[in-house]
Amino acid sequence: MSNPSILILPGDGIGPEVMAEVRKVIGWYGDKRDIQFDVSEDLVGGAAYDAHGTPLHDDTMAKAQEVDAVLLGAVGGPKYDVLDFSVKPERGLLRLRKEMDLYANLRPAQCFDALADFSSLKKDVVAGLDIMIVRELTSGIYFGEPRGIIEEGNERVGINTQRYTESEIDRVARSAFELAMKRDKKLCSMEKANVMESGILWREVVTEVGKDYPEVELSHMYADAGAMQLCRWPKQFDVIVTDNLFGDLLSDAAAMLTGSLGMLPSASLGKPMANGRPKALYEPVHGSAPDIAGQGKANPIACILSFAMALRYSFDMGAEADRLEAAVEKVLADGVRTADLLGEEGVDPVSTSEMGDAIVAALDASL
């Protein structure tokens, strides 16, 4: 039986730095747990544009279709702002999502006890927080047609179209219900059915899908009210399912409840492959942070936790995912902090590499 295959796309900015720490973890599993992965690496985003004149080469896209999982660092940076929209670094990521048909984006927002004081909300509001936002990823306003900037009379008009089919809503709703069944059996669907026809259809389809999951408590909420409730009392939620645009906004808002974007992973899942596992891309929620690139200041935890999600969802290694997440929690409980997590006077930050080393040491201690 062949080893699980992983394509690593470090990307731009701090992407290569945080991905180097993931490689340490992958190496640890090979050395200490005899779990071998076939790992290859390629370019995406600005790095791919610099090398090939495109943010994602066709050969790289073909590799992504063949492997069991793709791990991506981050893309973009100010040096690419002058590029035409069609070749901006972000277009490489969008192409991966679209052509791999990664329609369900899982974004957990978990507040580790050691970081409860770092949230912008009171400790009792966020301590123990563990929610999952399921964002539809391949349709909606980011992909709808018509789109563009046109001339109308004596002025320009920007156009983007919010468009969803029943089948697109159905499949992401089922992903969310299946996830809810493995958690607390509670799902909240968020849209704007009060002002958008796409929201009306979204609510109707999710309600219909819910009939196939009678054990799951389904509720509906307008997305703007959901944003307010995330800030008021986020622990009322367990799994949230929403569309592409609202999912983008709500998951970033939820991210800050945990104290730092440097802590949050994500998984983008698609249709099952021949082996029964979904096509998948894993990436940290944070961006490329070009202002600190190359300085050893980046927090690699989000990228490492993204690999933990790969262990769980792509490789059916839930126990090993638990082991890695527990190692991260232990390191934080021991007071190890990168610069983005500093809050106590007299605590010196560790570098990106030192945080990776600490997590590997915690993995050693777990044996």
Domain locations in the chain as residue ranges: 1-109+262-367
Instruction: Name the stretches of the chain with pLDDT < 70.
Output: 1, 259-260, 343-346
- Output the pLDDT for position 115: 81
Are 338 and 352 spatial neighbours (Cβ–Cβ below 8 Å)? yes
The Cα–Cα gap between 335 and 318 comes to 26
- Output the pLDDT for position 345: 60
Strands 5-11 and 104-110, bridge-based pairing: unpaired
- List, in sequence order, every residue forming a beta bridge with 191; answer none if it has no partner: 222
- Show contacts of 31-37: CB within 8 Å, 24+ apart: 32/363, 32/364, 32/367, 33/320, 35/317, 35/320, 36/3, 37/3, 37/4, 37/5, 37/6
Q: What are phi and psi of 37, to 5 degrees?
A: -120, 140
Whether the bond between 78 and the residue before it is cis, its omega within 30 degrees of 0, is no
- Output the pLDDT for position 343: 63
- Output the pLDDT for position 275: 78
- Output the pLDDT for position 127: 81
Are 109 and 129 spatial neighbours (Cβ–Cβ below 8 Å)? yes
- Output the pLDDT for position 158: 97
Active site residues: 142, 192, 224, 248, 252
The Cα–Cα gap between 162 and 180 comes to 26
Q: How far is CA 275 from CA 179, 271, 316, in A?
A: 20, 11, 12
Are 307 and 327 spatial neighbours (Cβ–Cβ below 8 Å)? no
The Cα–Cα gap between 136 and 31 comes to 37
Element spanning 156, H or E: strand 155-161
Give this prediction's pTM.
0.89
- Output the pLDDT for position 263: 84
Q: Output the CATH code of domain 1-109+262-367.
A: 3.40.718.10
The Cα–Cα gap between 144 and 137 comes to 12
- Output the pLDDT for position 6: 98
- Output the pLDDT for position 346: 62
Q: What is the CA radius of gyration of the chain?
A: 20
The Cα–Cα gap between 115 and 112 comes to 5
Q: pLDDT tens across 94-129, in order?
A: 999 989 999 999 999 888 888 877 777 788 888 888
The Cα–Cα gap between 242 and 231 comes to 17
The Cα–Cα gap between 280 and 174 comes to 17
- Show contacts of 192-196: CB within 8 Å, 24+ apart: 192/222, 192/223, 192/224, 192/246, 193/220, 193/222, 194/222, 196/162
